[in-house]
Structure 1
Amino acid sequence: MRELGFKRVLFLVHRGQLARQTKKSYEKIFDKSVSMGLVGAGYSDYDRDYVFATVQTLNRDEHLRKYAPDDFDCIILDEAHHSSANTYQKVMNYFTPKLWLGMTATPDKRDDDIDGKNIYQIFNYQIAYEIRLQQAMEENMLCPFHYFGITDVSLLGDKEIKSKKLTESSFNQLVGDERVKHIIEQANYFGHSGDRVKGLIFCSRIDESVELSNKFNQTINPETGRFFRTIALNGDATEEERQRAFERLAMDENTLDTTNKTNADQIFDTERTEKTDKVDKADENMQPLDYIFSVEILNEGVDIVEVNQVIMLRPTESPIVFIQQLGRGLRKANGKEYVVILDFIGNYNNNFMIPVALSGDRSYNADTIRKYVISGNNTIPGASTVHFDEIAKDRIFASIGKIKGMKSIIRESYVSLKNRLGRVPYLLDFYENGEVDPLVIIKEYKTYQAFLEAVEKELYTGRLNEQEKTTLEYLSKTILSGTRPFELEILRQLMKKPSLSMKEIREVFTQRYDYEVNVQSLDNAADVLQGKFVSKDDEYKRFCRIDILKEDNNNIFRRMNNFTTRLQNEEFKKQIDDIIEVGLKRYHDKYQTALKNESPFVLYEKYSRRDVSLLMNCGRDLSSTMYGMKRIDDDVFIFVTYHKEESTDEQKNYVDGKPDYADAFEDNMIFRWDSQIGRGVDSSYVSDVVNTKRKHLLVKKSDAESNFYYMGEFDIVDVRAARKRDNNGKERDITKFEMKMHHPVREDLLRYLQSNLQQRLQNNTQELKAI
């Protein structure tokens, strides 16, 4: 506002407290160079240069008509996601400023798809500036935070907690003495910045917040030696009660801060009343609060900069709400070096949303979420830290392994993106805007066309014929992931011109990728684009009809006439281009270092068995024949599931096909691996492993993961014969290998793979001690 030099500005808020706080902030910047005043909360400073008004007051005619429609050069709407409400709309329809400026931390709402409710549409899809948690931390705009994911002793699930009525037993789990003791112990252990705790505690239910507050008030605070001082603050609290609670939380110990307060400052978002004197008197006798318990009224519109500890005692329902609640503690304040966030993690289905919220990554790619949990501190800017205890971490991993409601998440992301763009988004829009990963969408719907038909219904039904849909399905399944660029570049060139020589495509790779691609890889890529990259004959019968290209004897790739005709369908052409662009962007973002290293694989990226078949130019999808080991020419691939599923059949030692192999890292260099049962040291199986030129290790933590981490190449240090009983109790030959990796395994990944093995050992030790 200062730089733009507007003469008259209106700042519109929905609470008197916010109007007063904003006016103080503006006074720091402008000093006395402009006059400032309030309208609402008992004030009527209509004629000031800068007016800070409540919408509840200004939308009434007797106040609104004090101004001409063009009186203000600029009107700023705080918490602008409310601007579709009737009160705001009345003000917006009356005034005609040069600039409308909206500010909000939550622009995406569930009713944005209703006409007139879309905030982006109200502001003409113009986003002046956007900043998210990660960037704000990098810019040092926020107070550093130390997040601790702690195991909750309550074992209630999401559905139980959300039910209207809890059984007495279930409610006692939420407010029982054991849980209260656990919360207090953890809060005291992890502490806070500053002389005393000034905390917010978010609960899942109103009755829980009330009862926990009562129990805290009957418990000695180990830090001070006196009873805790807390209150429960929920939707039935008046503006006056809320303001008084906020002041009590912020105040210094044994000091009632009345400096720089006028009588009017203690009147809240109502007109002056006869109660004012009573409020003043009560304020003089206020005592500080240690905590405010609440469910959701503190999520927005609350600015208590002194908060130094935030405790979360509820399931994470959405990343937006999580960040709103965490954000209550991120304002900077004198004497506050950091804020402590304690998140008590129970057996909740939505635990996967915790790393989604902390990372700011909205792709909902399970591998990306896992990667954040195992290396969170590496991705949080500045002095902030993220730590999960082992049990909480395992609960999150379990939640990631069985994410439910993905179709609902995709639809919400789609609606949000459509509202933001003002048009139907495509896969590239999801990728570039950091929304749900296109691969996640394809996993759920097979094609983006199928998703559009599901969400837009008759608007998209019938736009494509069956051959076009089959072509999109095959390309989405095969090349969208972008693990290599060969097919993508050939297809991109053939979208522009009817034929392409081998020489031309090799020149493209030399210029764009600085890479001399070999003829074998290009021939293989042409086979892939002819529908040949399948695992079963019936798949080939279906996909060989995609009719994209043919290769003649002169090494010329020619676009087939059928494909040329189909490209005249703009929707089909758009979705083909969409697949190409997303695939190439994914390749550049994740996999392009492979070409520079003259290896098809990137260390620690994730690959499926199907990806290995593609990258090794197998010509077909060999994943159905890739079990624990697969030799492909001069390369051998070892596939390991680190945590084997245990058999529930008492008659069997192992789950069928998955014996309890001793597959584990001894340290970050040495890996020990068992061959399949029945494969002795003299078997061709073992010979394939020993005698190949290049040996690759791929590992996944459990069967909940579909893809494997590429751990790199290894050498064999030792091979020895051993015996193991099969499920029939018969002893059979196996071979034990000791392998040495070419590169030390990354520490965070190693911890992730080993995590619940260590926890299981700890649990066994505790059980033995108990016995």
Structure 2
Amino acid sequence: MKLITNSSNKNFYNQFTSLLQSCKAFYFNVAFINYSGLQLILNDLKKCEEKGVKGKVLSSTYLNFTDEKALAKLREFDNIELKVFDCYSTSIGFHPKAYLFEYEEEYKVLIGSSNLTSSAFKSNIEWNIKTVLKKDDLFIKELFSDFNSLWSSSIDVSEEFLSSYKKFKTEQKSIENFSFKQEFKLNYMQEKALQKLDFLRNNAENKALVIASTGIGKTYLSVLDIKQFNAKKALFIVHREDILISARKSFETMIKDRTMGFFTGNKKDINCDFIFATVQTLNKYYTKFGKQEFDYIVVDEAHHIASKSYEFINKYFKPKFLLGLTATSNRTDEVSIFDYFDDNVACDIGLTEALDKSLVSSFHYFGIEDIKELDYENIDLNNIKKLSKFLMINKRVDFILEKMNFYGFSGDKRRVLGFCASKEHATFMSEEFNKRGIKAISLTSEDSIIKRENSIKKLQSSTNELEVIFTVDIFNEGVDIPNVNTILMLRPTNSSIIFVQQLGRGLRKNSDKEFLTILDFIGNHNRAYLIAIALMGKKRFDKDSIKLSVNNNFANFPNAYIIMDEISKKRVLAQIDSENFNTLKYLKEKFLEFKNSLNLKTTPMMSDFIHYDEYINVLDFISYSKSYEEFLCKVEKNEEYNRVCEDENFLKALRFIQGLLPIKRVYEFALLKYLILNESINLKEAQNYLTKYLINVSKDTISHSFRFLNEEFFDSAQKQRVLKLVFIKENTLYLTVDFKRVLEDKLKKEFFLDSLNYGLIRYEKEFGNIDYGLPFLKLYEKYNMLNIAQLCNFEKIHSSFRGSGFLKYKDDFFLFITIEKDKFTKGAKYQNAFLSKEIFTYSSKPSMSSEKGDGKRLVENKKFGVKLHIFVRKFSHVDKKVQNFIYLGLANTQSFENNKPINLKLKLDTALLDNLYEEFTKVIEEE
């Protein structure tokens, strides 16, 4: 007997589908079946039908919760008998949740709290028991006796029943439901951003940027912060007039004591408290307002702020606070958006975080093996003309329609966005769909904005016949179609970023849909693994973590179901295995993919990668080439980059700065940025400046950072490799003559500031402004041994702060543990393993004895007041690249045995997260 719950590495769904795939018959007795749950097992039910595995499904009309659409779909299967228990005729409630799977000699039974719904499968708090019973077991006989009794007294699901039930449910919906008006409740993004905005203003900052997907409450956030700021007069700027109307409605629902007006081509309400303006009109008439007239200005779609049409904001208006809202941090006109907001990012929410916090709609992704006639073996995915011709075949259209009809959708009307390879492909698809009786159109950049907007309105309408929009070069970002319930990926994935952007077009929450359906037609092209990378985002640690998630149906996504058929799954896993993520060929492809997917006309700077670090890590380029700029010289034809990289001092300085990335404390980078802009900084100035980044600023750590930058903790080899950037005189930090000379070159200075900004903004994303104490360690963050020397304020040469998995500083012991031994790992005879989420084994250094010195303090750490800090990695190297350690917090020695080495059992203060436990303990089975 086994308890089945939903967690980040296991769930009821995986148990359920495993049994359904292997049984010889099945019997379901379940109160509620809705389409969100049924859709997720359609593939398995189809396989049962093909194998001749028969089933009986009994549900009910209890509380009208069972979907008529789900029952209708079940009736399509020839191998399934379907009945419902009529709760209204009998006046009896019906609430069982039992699933019986028959095998040759036994039954495997799931019984507990889970209905056949998507939330019960994976995200709800559910308790279910799995048990295995012989066919002559008394309990099994009792179950079937009761099931057969209920079955005989239930109704066959006929067309007549479905029609009657649907009509009844429709009439029930038309009755006005009870509602209770509650105060507006902040979501995760809004709460996080409001706290940071308040912090920034308390430290004299007057502008900030919010980066978050469409539909998760950025406009409401601006209303809330304007209230928090207590602005008397505010300006809200957009680039499209239709956005103004919805923005004003958002403000009116929350602010009742201010007048509100428009400033557009047709209307100019200049005397209102809150003015909603289009940038086009404001650009012509901004002098109608005083420079300091607005306390607070909001710029929507703020990634456009560097363009000429927004120039007046920076040169004319002087608000007390400027807030930028955007779904992307893409640069325009060769200028970083971060520069315009003084690198103040109030929040930056990516897809995986938005899903984890339920900020977006849940989705059901189906990776489907494409038709066998499509062989990508000799197809260049970048040759769009050839690829389009390859995809434009009628058999594939029929296959796509077959899968659309099979999987269905959430809601009353199908609303589809189909992403194609080219304009020709989009036109072909719309024509073929119309021939088959499904109203469709193609939309591309050649179509007018008016046509695009009218088409979107038709798609959203419940009465218009338009069901599908096929597109290629629009809708990747920024377009808001709330009730889209189906996304079709109709070309091979060649960019994880574009894949996620397209997926995001359907993720806005909306009452017309319960979930988004994504149908991705995966061929045998050699880039299919990008899908897994895109879907994993920051949840991946290395290749193993990606493979674990693929094998586990991405169980660690609480708000999404990601299902690949077996052929697609094997193809993705094989590609992940064979791909080396650290070759120049791979890194160059990733770089060009990034540049092309964002339509960047100029070379991306490091800060351009920050919002996309779930999918591409600029530090991989640095790791390969020692600096980002040297990597650019390898992949871009640019004489200016080649020129600056000929300067040895420039490279020595750049390698030092970028070699510290990702930074684990903010002090050094903040001080360097201040120095580049001001040439000197004393201890008091440093303390004032650092309050922008941290709640608590440590004077001791400032002094240590001064000395670190002054190279006092560098060994002789390090000093030869890097340029000395600063010197200390009378407790003041100054730039050296050599570094000032390098900074005289405008492009070189831009590169240094970009490196520092990247480090500072990424640090804020990962650490916020929290003080983690000394040593400055955050749970589950990644570290190497040299990081620890810096974070302890270690006052000796930092390269000496190394060891064979064991370091110490005063009463802090740092244990660095590699789980899987390989040819790179010294001391492969050590046995380190997790026995549970709290208990793990650890072998000390061979010289340690439990009777004296560090060994005695280790085995009796509580008695001696020693803190044991635990750092773990699974492998020392992946694709020949050294892996960092994950900090798991503090532990205490529970027991020990033997000497030289000592074998210990340690207990973590904080139990491992489910996904980390799986990462460290589960072995990937090779095919």
Q: Given the two structures, how large is their TM-score scaled by the length of structure 2?
A: 0.45
Compared CA separation, residues 182 and 68, structure 1 to 2 (3 A): same
Compared CA separation, residues 699 and 13, structure 1 to 2 (3 A): closer
- DSSP 3-state at the match of 1:180: helix
Which residue of structure 2 lines up, in the alignment, with residue 298 of structure 1?
A: 475
Which residue of structure 2 lines up, in the alignment, with residue 354 of structure 1?
A: 531
8 Å Cα contact 2:538/2:614 also seen in 1: no
Q: Which amino acid aligns with 2:514?
A: E
- Asked if residue 104 in structure 1 is aligned to residue 314 in structure 2, the reply is no
- Asked if residue 29 in structure 1 is aligned to residue 220 in structure 2, the reply is no
Q: Which amino acid aligns with 1:436?
A: N
Compared CA separation, residues 369 and 747, structure 1 to 2 (3 A): closer
Which residue of structure 2 lines up, in the alignment, with residue 243 of structure 1?
A: 453
Matches within 5 A, 1:176-575: 176-219=393-436, 227-252=437-462, 255=463, 287-361=464-538, 366-375=543-552, 377-380=554-557, 382-400=558-576, 401-402=578-579, 404-407=585-588, 409=590, 418-419=606-607, 436=617, 441-442=622-623, 444-445=624-625, 451=631, 457-459=642-644, 461=646, 463=648, 563=717, 566=720, 569-570=723-724
Which residue of structure 1 lines up, in the alignment, with residue 784 of structure 2?
A: 583
8 Å Cα contact 2:417/2:484 also seen in 1: yes
- DSSP 3-state at the match of 1:377: coil
Q: Which amino acid aligns with 1:34?
A: R
The alignment's C-alpha RMSD in Å is 5.2
Give the Cα–Cα distance (whole angstroms) in 1 for the partners of residues 714 and 288 of structure 2: 71
- DSSP 3-state at the match of 2:399: helix
- DSSP 3-state at the match of 1:142: coil
- Give the Å deviation of 1:572: 13
- Give the Å deviation of 1:178: 1.3
Give the Cα–Cα distance (whole angstroms) in 2 for the partners of residues 58 and 465 of structure 1: 43
- Give the Å deviation of 1:562: 5.0
Give the Cα–Cα distance (whole angstroms) in 1 for the partners of residues 613 and 829 of structure 2: 29
- Give the Å deviation of 1:383: 3.0
Give the Cα–Cα distance (whole angstroms) in 1 for the partners of residues 263 and 377 of structure 2: 47
Cα deviation digits, residues 23-42 of structure 1 (max 9, x gap) = 22222222x43222333364
Give the Cα–Cα distance (whole angstroms) in 2 for the partners of residues 128 and 183 of structure 1: 42
Q: Which amino acid aligns with 1:175?
A: M
**Mean alpha-carbon deviation: is it higher for 201-210 or for 432-441?**
432-441
Give the Cα–Cα distance (whole angstroms) in 1 for the partners of residues 612 and 450 of structure 2: 46
Which residue of structure 2 lines up, in the alignment, with residue 163 of structure 1?
A: 383
Compared CA separation, residues 564 and 240, structure 1 to 2 (3 A): closer
Count of aligned pairs: 495
8 Å Cα contact 2:415/2:459 also seen in 1: yes
Give the Cα–Cα distance (whole angstroms) in 2 for the partners of residues 150 and 137 of structure 1: 23
Compared CA separation, residues 317 and 601, structure 1 to 2 (3 A): same
Give the Cα–Cα distance (whole angstroms) in 1 for the partners of residues 829 and 553 of structure 2: 33
Higher RCO (CA 8 Å, separation ≥ 6 residues): 1
Which residue of structure 1 lines up, in the alignment, with residue 306 of structure 2?
A: 84
Give the Cα–Cα distance (whole angstroms) in 2 for the partners of residues 308 and 452 of structure 1: 41
Give the Cα–Cα distance (whole angstroms) in 2 for the partners of residues 451 and 301 of structure 1: 31
Compared CA separation, residues 228 and 101, structure 1 to 2 (3 A): same
Q: Which amino acid aligns with 1:210?
A: T
- Give the Å deviation of 1:232: 0.9
- Give the Å deviation of 1:439: 6.5
- Give the Å deviation of 1:66: 2.6
- Give the Å deviation of 1:207: 0.9
**Mean alpha-carbon deviation: is it higher for 143-152 or for 201-210?**
143-152
8 Å Cα contact 2:328/2:611 also seen in 1: no
Seq. identity, %: 29
- DSSP 3-state at the match of 1:302: coil
Which residue of structure 2 lines up, in the alignment, with residue 609 of structure 1?
A: 823
Which of 18, 27, 48 does residue 243 from structure 2 map onto?
Answer: 18
Give the Cα–Cα distance (whole angstroms) in 2 for the partners of residues 438 and 747 of structure 1: 23
8 Å Cα contact 2:606/2:618 also seen in 1: no
8 Å Cα contact 1:120/1:420 also seen in 2: no
8 Å Cα contact 1:149/1:345 also seen in 2: yes
- Structure 1: give runs of 5+ residues left out of the alignment: 220-226, 256-286, 422-428, 482-558, 618-633, 635-697, 709-744, 758-771
**Mean alpha-carbon deviation: is it higher for 204-213 or for 410-419?**
410-419
Which residue of structure 2 lines up, in the alignment, with residue 551 of structure 1?
A: none
8 Å Cα contact 2:485/2:515 also seen in 1: yes
Compared CA separation, residues 177 and 416, structure 1 to 2 (3 A): same
8 Å Cα contact 1:125/1:420 also seen in 2: no
8 Å Cα contact 1:204/1:295 also seen in 2: yes
- DSSP 3-state at the match of 1:136: helix
8 Å Cα contact 1:35/1:49 also seen in 2: yes
Which residue of structure 1 lines up, in the alignment, with residue 732 of structure 2?
A: none
- Structure 2: give runs of 5+ residues left out of the alignment: 1-225, 596-601, 663-712, 728-738, 740-751, 753-758, 760-781, 790-802, 808-813, 831-845, 847-873, 884-916
Compared CA separation, residues 162 and 54, structure 1 to 2 (3 A): farther
Cα deviation digits, residues 233-263 of structure 1 (max 9, x gap) = 11122222222211211122xx4xxxxxxxx
Compared CA separation, residues 106 and 436, structure 1 to 2 (3 A): same
- Asked if residue 95 in structure 1 is aligned to residue 327 in structure 2, the reply is no
Give the Cα–Cα distance (whole angstroms) in 1 for the partners of residues 918 and 301 of structure 2: 43
Compared CA separation, residues 705 and 567, structure 1 to 2 (3 A): closer
Give the Cα–Cα distance (whole angstroms) in 1 for the partners of residues 528 and 788 of structure 2: 30
Matches within 5 A, 1:722-741: none
Which residue of structure 2 lines up, in the alignment, with residue 54 of structure 1?
A: 278
Compared CA separation, residues 177 and 707, structure 1 to 2 (3 A): farther
Give the Cα–Cα distance (whole angstroms) in 1 for the partners of residues 432 and 612 of structure 2: 48
8 Å Cα contact 1:410/1:436 also seen in 2: no
- Give the Å deviation of 1:108: 3.4
- DSSP 3-state at the match of 2:347: coil
Cα deviation digits, residues 675-731 of structure 1 (max 9, x gap) = xxxxxxxxxxxxxxxxxxxxxxx999xx999999xxxxxxxxxxxxxxxxxxxxxxx
**Mean alpha-carbon deviation: is it higher for 87-96 or for 231-240?**
87-96
Cα deviation digits, residues 241-294 of structure 1 (max 9, x gap) = 222211211122xx4xxxxxxxxxxxxxxxxxxxxxxxxxxxxxxx23211111
Give the Cα–Cα distance (whole angstroms) in 2 for the partners of residues 431 and 36 of structure 1: 37
Cα deviation digits, residues 5-57 of structure 1 (max 9, x gap) = 21222222222222222222222222x43222333364333333222222223
Give the Cα–Cα distance (whole angstroms) in 2 for the partners of residues 430 and 13 of structure 1: 22
Give the Cα–Cα distance (whole angstroms) in 1 for the partners of residues 787 and 550 of structure 2: 22
- Asked if residue 147 in structure 1 is aligned to residue 327 in structure 2, the reply is no
- DSSP 3-state at the match of 1:84: coil
Give the Cα–Cα distance (whole angstroms) in 2 for the partners of residues 190 and 561 of structure 1: 63
Compared CA separation, residues 54 and 462, structure 1 to 2 (3 A): closer
Compared CA separation, residues 11 and 322, structure 1 to 2 (3 A): farther
8 Å Cα contact 1:566/1:572 also seen in 2: no
Which residue of structure 1 lines up, in the alignment, with residue 220 of structure 2?
A: none
Q: Given the two structures, how large is their TM-score scaled by the length of structure 1?
A: 0.54
8 Å Cα contact 2:418/2:487 also seen in 1: yes
Which of 58, 62, 65 does residue 287 from structure 2 map onto?
Answer: 65
Give the Cα–Cα distance (whole angstroms) in 2 for the partners of residues 448 and 418 of structure 1: 8
